[in-house]
Structure formats: structure tokens, C-alpha cells
Amino acid sequence: MEFTYYHPKNIQSLVTTLSGLQNYALLAGGTDLLVKMKEKLLQPMPQAVVDINEIGKLQEITESEGYLWIGPAVSHTALTKSVLVNEKAVVLAEAAGQIGSPQIRNKGTVGGNICNASPAADTVPALLALDAMVEISDQSGRRHVALSEVFKGPGRTCLLPGQFISQIRLRTIQHNEGAAFLKFGKRKALAIAMINAAVWLKIANGIIDDVRIAFGSVAPTPIRLYELETWLIGKSANHGVFAQAGVKASQMIKPIDDIRCTADYRKRLAQIIIFRSLVTALGRAQGRCGCE
């Protein structure tokens, strides 16, 4: 492991640093990057490491006009403790709070969770359920991309050399709306999800007015189940419909067998996780907590 270390102090300096480098890695929390570098899992191995932790702007959480803006270098611990996130997007605080261990959450970041592009990333379904958009910056400026468009495969994103995520924008949860995140792992701590899911729904007169459903660990990337969302819109928000949605969800996904569990078991979990998260989200939309 040999590299040159850069630690830009602001975004402009980061842009300039990256534009002069060929083969580099961005260091946010380092909880995945350093493991991969130590085990020489990156090809090619980066010649430079650019630490973004000294850029204060990338660690901000702000709210404006129905959106939360989250800096990519915000740690999972900061997300779980943020009053703003707990009030406006509690599903993200819940997802961040179930990652790894306290030590990992103190270092790991939401931007790192996205860029690492694990199909099992915990914050990603929560972000997808809140219709997240990322701002991608480079030397030529900034552009906005739906988070669902960022993932290209396990460990692969649409980010090109010189580009980085400069902000994450998500919709705040409004009146008559509710969201929930659930995860099944082998244990409560330090477990990568066998399956995880987040749902968001909006209710009007007992009818599902709008819904977003996001899944992790069931495909090469975290996914939205658009087909199931379409099926749910206009239906009554009740447990019977949610149970049917669970069955449909398990039929729509094509998970694989892996070290954590089998595809069959994932399909069984899918049914349960969708049912339970819809029930919780509905409870919250109706003003009561259906989770604990």
C-alpha cells in the first residue's frame, strides 16, 4: 500500500486536486476503502488518496423548500443523531443506525455508502424511498442525477474520473406521509443485510395516493420496485393489500444465493419485509408509530 496523500480544505481545491490525478481514491470514512486497499482488492491500486474529511461543506445537513440537503461526508452517527434528519426523514436515521457497529458508524459516511455501490448498502434504500438526487461535481461544473441512475452494478457507479458527489438531496416526509426502513441480517450488529427495504407512502382518505418502494440485496444494485408501486397506487391502504404487495414483491425480484443466504430465503424475507415496512409507514402516515 503506497500512495500520495492529499487533503484539500475546500471544494474548489478538491476539484483542482482531482483534475490533476489519474489514478486516485477518495477517502471519506475509509471503512470500506482501507479494507480493500489493505487486501489489494482494487485494480489498479490507487496511486493517490484524496481525503475529503477536512472539507466542512461536505459535512453539512440543511433544509430548504421541502428538501433536505445532506453532505456526502456526513457520518452515519451524525445522521442518526441529527434532529433535522429525525424530524424530516427519520427513515434515513433508522437505516444509518443499523449499519455495522458504533465504530463503523462514527467513520462511515452516506456518500461513501453510495459510492461503494454495494447492493446491500443500508442507507441507499432509505434514500431511494425519499426520491434522492445527487449533485455530481467536477471541473466543468455540477449536474444532478437521480440516485437510482447512479448505480451501474456491484461496486460500480456512473461517476467518472474527476467527479465526486457534492450533495445529496432528498424529499422530506410531509403530513399524511410515512416511511420505514427494515433490515434482516444474521445478527443485529456488524451484519451486512441479507435483505433490506425502505418504503414511503402518501395517504389520502385511506387510499394510497403515492408510494415508493426500494430494495437492497436482491439485485446487482439497490432497486426501486416501480411495478409494485404502480400496482399499489389507488388501492386502499390496509393490511390485506400490504400482504398482497409482499407476495408480489417476492415474485418480482430475482435474488441470488450468496454467502449470506439463499435466493429462496431472500424471496421469503422479501414478502415479510415489504408487508412490515408498509404497515409501519402507514402507521406513521396516520400519526402513530407502528414500529416499536
Partner 1 sequence: MSKEVICFILNGQKMEIEVEPSLLLIDMLRNRLGLTGTKMGCGEGECGACTVLLDGKTVNSCLILARQVEGHEVLTVEGLGTYDKLHPLQDAFIAEGAVQCGFCTPGMLLSAKSLLDENPQPTRNQIAKHISGNLCRCTGYVKIINAIEKVAKSD
C-beta of 6 vs 181, nearer to partner 1 = 6
C-beta of 51 vs 138, nearer to partner 1 = 51
Which amino acid makes up residue 79? Answer: L
Q: What's the min distance (Å) between Cβ of 2 and partner 1?
A: 5
C-beta of 190 vs 256, nearer to partner 1 = 190
Q: What's the min distance (Å) between Cβ of 37 and partner 1?
A: 8
C-beta of 32 vs 177, nearer to partner 1 = 32
Q: What's the min distance (Å) between Cβ of 45 and partner 1?
A: 11
> How far apart, in whole angstroms, are the C-alpha atoms of residue 270 and residue 166?
33
For residue 208, count other CB atoms closer than 10 A to its CB: 24
C-beta of 5 vs 65, nearer to partner 1 = 5
Q: Which residues bind partner 1 (CB under 8 A)?
A: 1-5, 7, 27, 30-31, 34-35, 38-39, 49, 51, 53, 77, 100-104, 106-107, 188-190
Q: What's the min distance (Å) between Cβ of 96 and partner 1?
A: 14
C-beta of 46 vs 178, nearer to partner 1 = 46
Q: What is the DSSP string of the chain?
A: ---EEE--SSHHHHHHHHHT-SSEEEESS-TTHHHHHHTT-SSSPPSEEEE-TT-GGGG-EEEETTEEEE-TT-BHHHHHH-HHHHHH-HHHHHHHTTSS-HHHHHH-BHHHHHHTT-TT-SHHHHHHHTT-EEEEEETTEEEEEEGGGTEEETTEESPPTT-EEEEEEEEPP-TTEEEEEEEE-SSSSS---SEEEEEEEEEETTEEEEEEEEEESSSSS-EE-HHHHHHHTTSB-SHHHHHHHHHHHHHH------SS--HHHHHHHHHHHHHHHHHHHHHHHTTS----
Q: What's the min distance (Å) between Cβ of 115 and partner 1?
A: 16
Q: What's the min distance (Å) between Cβ of 31 and partner 1?
A: 5
- Taking only Cα atoms into account, the Rg of the chain, rounded to an integer number of angstroms, comes to 19
Q: What's the min distance (Å) between Cβ of 123 and partner 1?
A: 17
C-beta of 7 vs 268, nearer to partner 1 = 7
